[in-house]
């Protein structure tokens, strides 16, 4: 916020910035001496009238802002060009050109043309597809016996009427008297009529008494066949079980016979066990006596019985002979005989087990037969006596069903041609309907080019093409105007630029400086180049101090070129000595001494060495202010030092 005093009163200027740095937006308010407040463009126009200078001119020739100098120090040519545009007051041109280029109008127009061509291709493809479908359907129509003159809407209605009569006739033949059908009154209802007739024909067929009876008989036939098949299978299992049991009983006997034989063999086993027990007792005595007698014979010649101790001549020899000749063989034979009887018992028991399984299988099979006999009785709704043959009964029922099905089938067979004829008529009607429908749709697509919407689209294409041409012309004019203004300013400031640069740098390799502006081939914006008077490029050999001197020379040259036309009698320089060494600072102060002869100077610097040089080497009267105690809210406190 700043106050400006004038002969007609005090003006209060307030500028507010909101938003982030990249998207910052500002509002300008000017309060007039009478209290009236102006905003926006009205405020800017009043300021321009008061100061006879625009903000752009002020930033170009009065206020050397530090950001403008810093931007020139970059190594990026594009960023440097933007900075020099700002320094020359041409940034509005470049921003306009960038904004126009960002709009990408030419790309949008190209995309529009591409979409239009895509639409044209789609329309052509659709027309071609309809043509192909019509040709294929007409070929199908010829195969169906449909003549070209029949492919008309009125002919389609006539066919629909014939279909209605055929369906009505079929309903009567099927015995359905309450069915009614009406032909469609208009062509647009034919597609719906076709689907309705197809469904109704199927429904009529399903509702016909013969059809219903045929379906019921076929279902009963299937159910009885299943019952008969299961009965036959159960009967076969019972027969097989009986056939397995009978030879077995014939060969080995029944349960009673096998039980008797097992008992007999078991008795023989017991009898043999008793004989073995007795023989074993005697054998045990003989076996024990022989060792005793042998021991006694070694001591004495008299042989005595080990039990009664009586003298028995040749007792040992007799016992040994009896053991060898009789007892050993007798016991072995008895044990062999017992084993044979025991094995026979096991074999007979196994046979009895096999017989028991056969009888169980036979009982199960007979139970299965009885179950399916019961089901046959239920299916036939009658009682089946013991002397009846279930299989013969169910076969008789199946023969009756087959006979009835043949009779009904013959009756239905006589009606099938009518049903087939209806579906053939529907197929012809469908073909005619599809051909007419495709021809209609093809005509609609072909008329797209004649529609109002397409005319408007074509007009928009022309307008877009003209807009692209106009935008190209505007960008060309803006770029040329920007270059012309840059050339004028460079031409006006050229001599001063060269002079100030040489005074500030005194670079032995740069005898003089020339600035040129050309069109950037990539962007169309201004491209700046600095050349030494011998034609070489000085920027590669310039350090940051040299580039800073170049920017200051350009600013001072522009300020000097305005001459007496500049409404402000001062220049403002923000930290102009950055990146300068001591000698360069002294040279800059000497240059500023010359500038002070035609402009007052307001210089801000944090550099004490530069500040001391200003005080000692500038011969004009000076006022020095110090900014101290900075705070984010209130800024600095300003005190006058001298």
Cβ neighbour number for residue 549 with a 10 Å cutoff: 28
Residue 363, token pair as written in the block:
């009982």
Tokens 């005090």 locate to: 10
| pTM value > 0.95 | no
Q: What is the pLDDT of residues 99-153, one digit of tens each?
A: 888 888 888 888 888 888 888 888 888 888 988 988 888 888 888 888 888 888 8
For residue 29, the SS3 value is: strand
**Angle, helices 209-252/390-446, rounded to nearest 10 degrees:** 140
Rg (CA), the chain: 64
Kindly give the parts of the chain with pLDDT less than 70. 19-25, 52-77, 280-329, 331, 563-567
Beta bridge partners of 173: none
Q: What is the pLDDT of residues 284-296, one digit of tens each?
A: 655 555 666 566 5
pLDDT at position 508: 81
For residue 174, the SS3 value is: coil
Say how far apart CA 55 and CA 67 lie, in whole Å.
Answer: 16
Say how far apart CA 96 and CA 482 lie, in whole Å.
Answer: 11
Provide the greatest CA pair distance for the chain.
185
Say how far apart CA 316 and CA 289 lie, in whole Å.
Answer: 8
Pick the CATH number of 213-388 from 1.20.58, 3.30.200, 1.10.3470, 1.10.287: 1.10.287
Instruction: Give residue 621's Cα distance to chain centre.
Output: 78
Tokens 């002979």 locate to: 321
pLDDT at position 2: 81
Tokens 């970059």 locate to: 74
pLDDT at position 583: 92
Beta bridge partners of 304: 311
pLDDT at position 565: 60
| Beta carbons within 8 Å of 158's beta carbon, 6+ residues apart | none
For the chain, domain boundaries = 1-51, 144-207+393-446, 213-388
pLDDT at position 281: 66
Q: Taking Cα atoms as reference points, which of 441, 445, 439 lies closest to residue 138?
A: 439
Q: What is the pLDDT of residues 551-577, one digit of tens each?
A: 888 888 877 877 666 667 788 888 888
* Number of continuous H segments (helices) and E segments (strands) in the chain: 17, 11
Give the chain's mean pLDDT.
Answer: 82
Tell me the HSE value of 389 on the side-chain side, using a 13 A CA sphere: 6
């Amino acid at each position: 916020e700043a106050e400006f005093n004038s002969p007609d009163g005090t003006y209060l200027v307030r500028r507010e910035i909101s938003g982030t740095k990249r998207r910052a937006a500002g509002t300008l308010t000017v309060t007039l001496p009478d209290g009236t407040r102006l905003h926006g463009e009205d405020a800017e126009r009043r300021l321009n009238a008061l100061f006879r200078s625009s903000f752009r001119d002020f930033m170009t020739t009065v206020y050397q802002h530090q950001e403008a100098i810093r931007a020139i120090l970059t190594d990026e040519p594009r960023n440097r060009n933007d900075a020099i545009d700002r320094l020359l007051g041409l940034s509005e041109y470049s921003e306009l050109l960038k904004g126009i280029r960002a709009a990408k109008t030419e790309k949008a127009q190209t995309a529009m043309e591409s979409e239009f061509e895509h639409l044209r291709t789609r329309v052509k493809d659709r027309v071609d597809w309809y043509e192909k479908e019509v040709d294929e359907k007409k070929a199908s129509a010829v195969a169906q016996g449909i003549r070209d003159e029949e492919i008309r809407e009125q002919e389609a209605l006539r066919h629909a009427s014939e279909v209605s009569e055929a369906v009505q006739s079929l309903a009567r033949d099927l015995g359905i008297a309450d069915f009614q059908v009406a032909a469609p009154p208009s062509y647009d209802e034919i597609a719906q009529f076709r689907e309705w007739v197809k469904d109704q024909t199927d429904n009529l067929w399903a509702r016909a008494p013969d059809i219903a009876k045929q379906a019921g008989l076929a279902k009963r036939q299937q159910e009885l066949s299943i019952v008969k098949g299961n009965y036959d299978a159960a009967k076969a299992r019972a027969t097989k079980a009986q056939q397995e049991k009978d030879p077995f009983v014939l060969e080995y006997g029944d349960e009673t016979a096998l039980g008797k034989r097992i008992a007999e063999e078991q008795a023989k086993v017991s009898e043999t066990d008793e004989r073995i027990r007795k023989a074993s007792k005697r054998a045990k005595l003989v076996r024990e006596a022989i060792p005793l007698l042998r021991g006694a014979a070694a001591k004495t010649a008299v042989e005595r019985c080990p039990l009664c101790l009586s003298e028995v001549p040749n007792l040992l020899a007799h016992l040994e002979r009896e053991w060898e000749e009789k007892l050993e063989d007798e016991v072995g034979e008895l044990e062999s005989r017992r084993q044979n009887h025991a094995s026979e018992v096991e074999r007979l028991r196994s046979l009895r087990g096999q017989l028991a399984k056969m009888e169980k299988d036979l009982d199960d099979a007979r139970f299965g037969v009885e179950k399916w006999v019961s089901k046959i009785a239920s299916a036939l709704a009658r009682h089946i006596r013991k002397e009846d043959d279930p299989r013969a009964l169910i076969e008789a029922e199946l023969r009756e069903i087959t006979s009835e099905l043949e009779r009904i089938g013959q009756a239905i067979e006589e009606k099938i041609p009518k049903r087939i004829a209806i579906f053939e008529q529907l197929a012809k009607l469908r073909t005619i309907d599809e051909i007419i429908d495709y021809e209609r749709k093809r005509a609609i697509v072909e008329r797209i080019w004649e529609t109002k919407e397409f005319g408007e689209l074509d007009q928009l294409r022309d307008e877009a093409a003209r807009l692209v041409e106009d935008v190209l012309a505007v960008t060309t004019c803006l770029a040329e105007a920007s270059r012309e203004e840059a050339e004028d300013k460079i031409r006006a400031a050229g001599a001063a630029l060269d002079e100030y640069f040489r005074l500030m740098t005194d670079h032995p390799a740069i005898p003089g400086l020339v600035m040129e502006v050309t069109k950037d081939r990539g962007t169309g914006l201004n491209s700046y180049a600095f050349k030494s008077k011998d034609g070489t490029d000085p920027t590669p050999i310039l350090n940051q101090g040299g580039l800073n001197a170049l920017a200051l020379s350009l600013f001072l040259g522009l300020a000097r070129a305005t001459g007496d036309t500049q409404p402000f009698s001062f220049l403002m320089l923000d930290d102009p000595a950055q990146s300068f060494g001591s000698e360069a600072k002294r040279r800059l102060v000497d240059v500023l001494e010359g500038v002070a002869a035609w402009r007052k100077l307001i210089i801000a610097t944090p550099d004490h060495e530069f500040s001391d040089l200003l005080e000692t080497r500038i011969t004009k009267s000076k006022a020095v202010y110090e900014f101290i105690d900075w705070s984010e809210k209130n800024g600095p406190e300003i005190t006058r030092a001298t």
